[in-house]
């Protein structure tokens, strides 16, 4: 409820109510911070999982993006799309550069506790992976991770195997 108060402190009777939503420190990227609280930092410039430093640089074709850099050089982007069409464009861009064949990254492919996984081709100079989610609460999010100078297996075992990705 809102109440008007004059300079003497006398208030009026509330005549209407208003809901206020604060996006918090991440502003446009607040939904990413809510969906991935254990992966990204609580605020820009803060420390996320495994000592990463996270920022919200924005990105083309996305509603919002939080990018985290880890002390060991791993770079991760958590992307939020406005709709499935926008996400499909990004997935197709990754698919063109990926090793043939889409994989499932966790659980049963018919379960919401998993998603699609694309990884770099064997001849790629940078190891990367692109994750999508099948859970309806996460279906407009994706995660991209890369680690220059390392293999895909190293990226999978050092970052992906333990990364606190939402699975429920």
More confident residue, 62 or 19: 62
CB 4 within 8 A of CB 15: no
- 42/48 Cα distance (integer angstroms): 7
- 42/33 Cα distance (integer angstroms): 7
pLDDT given at position 101: 81
Q: Residue ranges of the domains in the chain? A: 27-160
pLDDT given at position 108: 54
DSSP state of 99: P
Lowest mean pLDDT segment, chosen from 19-33, 49-63, 71-85, 100-114: 100-114
Determine the average pLDDT of the residues in 11-17: 64
- 52/40 Cα distance (integer angstroms): 8
Q: Would you place residue 131 in the very low, low, confident or very high pLDDT band (cuts 50, 70, 90)?
A: very high
More confident residue, 63 or 4: 63
pLDDT digits (tens, 9 = 90+) for 28-45: 999 999 999 999 999 999
pLDDT digits (tens, 9 = 90+) for 92-113: 999 999 999 878 876 555 555 6
Determine the average pLDDT of the residues in 126-139: 92
CB 35 within 8 A of CB 141: yes
| Region of residue 61 (phi > 0: left; psi between -120 and 50: alpha; otherwise: beta) | left
- 98/124 Cα distance (integer angstroms): 9
Report percent pLDDT > 90 for the chain: 67
- 108/86 Cα distance (integer angstroms): 26
- 168/134 Cα distance (integer angstroms): 10
Check pLDDT > 60 for residue 126.
yes
User: In 3D, which of 59, 56, 51, 53 has the Cα closest to residue 31?
Assistant: 56
Q: What backbone torsions phi and psi does residue 101 show, to the nearest 5 degrees?
A: 95, 125
Determine the average pLDDT of the residues in 16-24: 63
């Amino acid at each position: 409820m809102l109440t008007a108060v004059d300079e003497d402190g006398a208030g009026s009777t509330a005549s209407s109510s208003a809901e206020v939503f604060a996006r918090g420190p991440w502003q446009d990227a607040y939904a990413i911070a809510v969906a991935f609280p254990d992966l990204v930092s609580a605020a820009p410039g803060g420390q996320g999982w495994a000592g990463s430093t996270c920022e919200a640089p924005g990105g083309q074709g996305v509603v919002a993006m939080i990018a985290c850099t880890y002390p060991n050089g791993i770079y991760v982007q958590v992307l939020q799309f406005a709709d499935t069409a926008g996400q499909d464009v990004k997935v197709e861009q990754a698919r063109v550069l990926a090793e043939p064949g889409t994989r499932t990254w966790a659980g049963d492919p018919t379960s919401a506790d998993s998603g699609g996984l694309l990884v770099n081709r064997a001849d790629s100079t940078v190891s990367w992976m692109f994750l999508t989610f099948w859970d309806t609460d996460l279906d407009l999010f994706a995660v991209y991770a890369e680690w220059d100078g390392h293999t895909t297996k190293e990226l999978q075992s050092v970052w992906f195997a333990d990364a606190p990705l939402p699975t429920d």
